[in-house]
Amino acid sequence: MSESGSSQQSRSLFQRRENQAPETSGGYGTSVIDRDDRRTVGEALLEDPRISCRSVNVWYDKTHAIQNVTLDMGCNQVLAMIGPSGCGKSTFLRCLNRMNDTIAACRVDGQILLDDMDILGPQVDVVSLRARVGMVFQKPNPFPKSIYDNVAYGPRIHGLVRGRMEEDELVESSLIKAGLWHEVKDRLDSPGTGLSGGQQQRLCIARAIAVSPEVILMDEPCSALDPIATAKVEELIDELRTQFTIVIVTHSMQQAARISQRTAFFHLGELIEVGETEQIFTMPSHPLTEDYITGRFG
């Protein structure tokens, strides 16, 4: 956006906040941003994106949960999505592999390109799409199968392996990449659900990477983990980004700062600001971003 637009927006925000009664200053209403001046601050577009989202809107019946979001995601990069509860992070993330299709009341429009494929197109085979754009959820959800089968299942149904030897190799390499091999190599036939929470989450990551996705979506993947398991998953994310595009939702600013290269701040369904993670956390351009990262609301 233009500088004058940005400063005009900031001014109108500050003016409104100065006029607010002190007891309401933290509670931003829907009218904080002038509706004719709602533009994302920062670098939403990239030169060589892996995913390009243009004017994406999402409704749940009449609730306008995502409003006109335009954002690129880069190759071999971690993009962190932050913002207060209910601002639309999970909703937006789910658009990227059509997980919102499973919610009857949900309607998505706009354009989301993965390379040249329009993800939202009616002809898209969502099963193949979800192999290209994998997802790791907040709560580890291994299948009620063995550790081995949890990882082998995806490659089997997508016809990615021929014979047991290839399958064994893929299971091993996926578990190695997920940093879990040494902990489970002697009990591959045990149920995945019998692992600790942190191990289960790494198993889910192994399952996601076994089908060679291009993009991995993670919705608060560490929120159910202790600090040690969290550190392992964060280390893993940093290693995985050399091969994949990763988009992660997190409520932890420290985590966003540690593992992402770009950060996008959402508020009330809008993408307020996006930029290099360091800049967002040290010199945010938008007052709402600053208020959020300094803990003034959220």
Ligand X SMILES: Nc1ncnc2c1ncn2[C@@H]1O[C@H](COP(=O)(O)OP(=O)(O)OP(=O)(O)O)[C@@H](O)[C@H]1O
Chain contacts with ligand X (rule: CB under 6 A): 60, 63, 65, 83, 85-91, 103, 105
Look at residue 88 and give the partner it binds from Mg ion, ligand X, none, a contact being a CB closer than 5 to 8 Å depending on partner kind.
ligand X
Closest CA to 49 of 68, 76, 69, 67: 76
- H or E, element range at 111: strand 106-114
Look at residue 143 and give the partner it binds from Mg ion, ligand X, none, a contact being a CB closer than 5 to 8 Å depending on partner kind.
none
Of 28 and 92, the one with the shorter C-beta distance to Mg ion is 92
CB of 266 to ligand X, least distance (A): 7
Look at residue 260 and give the partner it binds from Mg ion, ligand X, none, a contact being a CB closer than 5 to 8 Å depending on partner kind.
none
Structure letter (DSSP) for residue 94: H
CB of 176 to ligand X, least distance (A): 31
Q: Which residues, including other chains, have CB under 8 Å from residue 19's CB and lie 6 or more apart?
A: none
Of 60 and 153, the one with the shorter C-beta distance to ligand X is 60
Look at residue 213 and give the partner it binds from Mg ion, ligand X, none, a contact being a CB closer than 5 to 8 Å depending on partner kind.
none
**Is 100 a residue that touches Mg ion (CB under 5 A)?**
no
**Is 90 a residue that touches Mg ion (CB under 5 A)?**
yes
Of 60 and 143, the one with the shorter C-beta distance to ligand X is 60
CB of 218 to Mg ion, least distance (A): 11
Of 243 and 252, the one with the shorter C-beta distance to ligand X is 252
Would strands 106-114 and 63-74 be described as parallel, antiparallel, or unpaired?
unpaired
CA distances from 28 to 15, 81, 246 (A): 13, 19, 30
Contact 50, 114 (CB under 8 A): yes
- How far is it, in rounded angstroms, from Cα 73 to Cα 63? 26
Of 103 and 176, the one with the shorter C-beta distance to ligand X is 103
Query: At how many degrees (to 10) do helices 163-177 and 197-210 cross?
Result: 130
**Is 91 a residue that touches Mg ion (CB under 5 A)?**
no
221 φ, ψ to 5°? -70, -15
Binding site for Mg ion (CB under 5 A): 90
